[in-house]
């Protein structure tokens, strides 16, 4: 079956669906789900998310220069969905979804306590790409709750991070497979 080019990302699935938390210059927090997200460099550690120009997340990252990627467990899927609703700027989706703000270690943007782990970033640069803006951030702190780490490795089976397909369809990643050979 042929896929409409504009919907290509449906078969580039599942993609990690994170909650990106930010704060505006008045100190009001914001959180929204993003699945157009990828690492781009390990040294220096850089990642990007792609946002459409109207996103409050983008406005806040521009205002304060940082943002946090919160890794979402399966149990928080319905709360992630609440955060995707179009609340007015200045309304905290973290509060609306019944989630808890947690002070970040290196950035002004808050993290979300109930999430599995947190990747704190400083805005490096942005670049227009089609109908989205690529927002590249430098990772200044990354942390995972101990209960989701096993012998220094991320325990996906326990964390069950939420991955996006499209619309309301998600995958809870939990089965780890290992490649054979050297
Ligand atoms: C699972 C999921 C993934 C999403 N991924 C993106 C994305 O990568 N880029 C984007 O601009 N919007 C994405 N959205 C839409 C935004 O989350 C949504 O428009 C949200 O209201 C934006 O909030 P904000 O204006 O507070 O930033 C996604 C929505 C969902 C439910």
Q: Which residues of the chain have pLDDT under 70?
A: none
The two structure tokens encoding residue 4: 């409409």
Residue 6 lies in a domain: no
Nearest CA to ligand 1 atom 30: 33
Q: Residue 34: which CATH number?
A: 2.30.110.10
What per-residue confidence (pLDDT) applies to 90? 85
Residue 75 lies in a domain: yes
Q: In the chain, how many domains are there?
A: 1
What per-residue confidence (pLDDT) applies to 100? 97
Residue whose CB lies within 8 A of the most ligand 1 atoms, among 7, 12, 33, for a mutation test: 33
In whole angstroms, what is the distance from residue 37 CA to residue 76 CA? 19
Residue 161 lies in a domain: no
| H helix intervals, 5-151 | 56-64, 77-83, 93-96
Q: Is the pTM of this model over 0.85?
A: yes
- Distance, CA 17 to ligand 1 centroid (Å)? 10
Three-state DSSP string of 49-63: EEECCCCHHHHHHHH
What per-residue confidence (pLDDT) applies to 89? 86
Is residue 84 lining ligand 1, measured as CB closer than 6 Å? yes
Residue 152 lies in a domain: no
In whole angstroms, what is the distance from residue 101 CA to residue 23 CA? 11
Contact 93, 24 (CB under 8 A): no
Residue 159: its H or E element = helix 156-159
Residue 174 lies in a domain: no
DSSP 73: B
- Distance, CA 34 to ligand 1 centroid (Å)? 5
Sign of CA dihedral 110, 115, 120, 126: negative
DSSP 9: G
């Amino acid at each position: 079956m042929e896929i409409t080019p504009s919907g290509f990302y449906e078969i580039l699935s599942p993609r990690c669906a994170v909650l990106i938390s930010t704060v505006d210059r008045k100190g009001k927090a914001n959180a929204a789900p993003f699945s157009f997200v990828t690492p781009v460099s390990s040294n220096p550690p850089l990642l990007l998310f792609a946002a459409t120009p109207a996103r409050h997340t983008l406005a806040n990252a521009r205002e304060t220069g940082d943002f946090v990627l919160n890794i979402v467990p399966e149990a928080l899927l319905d709360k992630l969905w609440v955060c995707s609703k179009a609340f007015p700027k200045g309304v905290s989706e973290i509060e609306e979804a019944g989630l808890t703000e947690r002070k970040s270690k290196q950035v002004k943007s808050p993290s979300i306590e109930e999430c599995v782990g947190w990747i704190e970033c400083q805005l490096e640069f942005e670049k227009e790409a089609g109908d989205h803006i690529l927002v590249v951030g430098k990772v200044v702190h990354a942390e995972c709750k101990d209960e989701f780490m096993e012998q220094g490795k991320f325990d996906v089976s326990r964390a069950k991070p939420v991955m996006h397909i499209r619309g309301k369809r998600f995958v809870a990643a939990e089965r780890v497979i290992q490649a054979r050979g050297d």
